Every structure is written in C-alpha cells, then in structure tokens.
Amino acid sequence: MSDESLQTEETAASTTAETVTAAATVEQLIYVGPNISKERLNKFAIFKNGLPQHMDDVFTACPAIKKLFVSIDKLSDILEKINKTGTAYNAWYSQVTAYIKKGVK
C-alpha cells in the first residue's frame, strides 16, 4: 500500500472518529440496569442528550450504573450480554443490584 493510500485511510478514520464522537454527544441512551426507585431511574428509560447530569453523585457512588447507559442501537446485543454470566455487563448489573440492596443514599 502506498504512503498516500495509508494517509488517506488514516484521515478517513480520523474523520469518522470525530463524527462518531460528535454524534455520541447527542446520541440517545437507554438505561438497561435494574430500577432504582429512590433515584427515579427505571429500566429502559431513554435519555436524549447523553447521561443525566443530575445523577453525577449516584455515578460516583456506584460507577457501574453509568456503564448500563447504552446506545439504543446496541440494546439487543447488550441485553444478551447482561444475561450471560461472565460478561462485563452481567458483572455491572450485579454490582448495581448489590448497590440497591445496600440502600441508595
């Protein structure tokens, strides 16, 4: 492959990454974790402008909650991962469940 071709591919990849980053800031996210009634956060709640800022304290107390906000287009794949023992999503879901059982502050 020529240097010019590599440079073109790198530029295209960079442009694509910038576009994805820009799109991610306005991307709709869906929460796939268990209900957290004290925080009024329900499973499958949709957020239009990224993560809800009013939950920063909760994200600090239990970082796994933040991991369970996913892109809507990945929902079915993520739900499979939540139900499969040994995946990161399954572990995060379990961490949130344990956090809820301790009592949300």
Q: Does the predicted model carry a pTM greater than 0.85? A: no
pLDDT at position 103, please? 81
pLDDT confidence tier of residue 94, bands split at 50, 70 and 90: very high
> Which tens digit of pLDDT belongs to each residue from 76-88?
999 999 999 999 9
Does the pLDDT at position 5 exceed 50? no
Question: Would you say 50 and 74 are in contact if contact means Cβ atoms under 8 Å apart?
Answer: no
What mean pLDDT do residues 1-23 have? 48
Distances (CA, A) of 61 to 30, 65, 77: 20, 9, 27
> Which tens digit of pLDDT belongs to each residue from 29-70?
999 999 999 889 999 999 998 999 899 999 999 999 999 999
Distances (CA, A) of 70 to 20, 24, 32, 41: 14, 11, 7, 14
State how far Cα 88 lies from the chain centre.
12
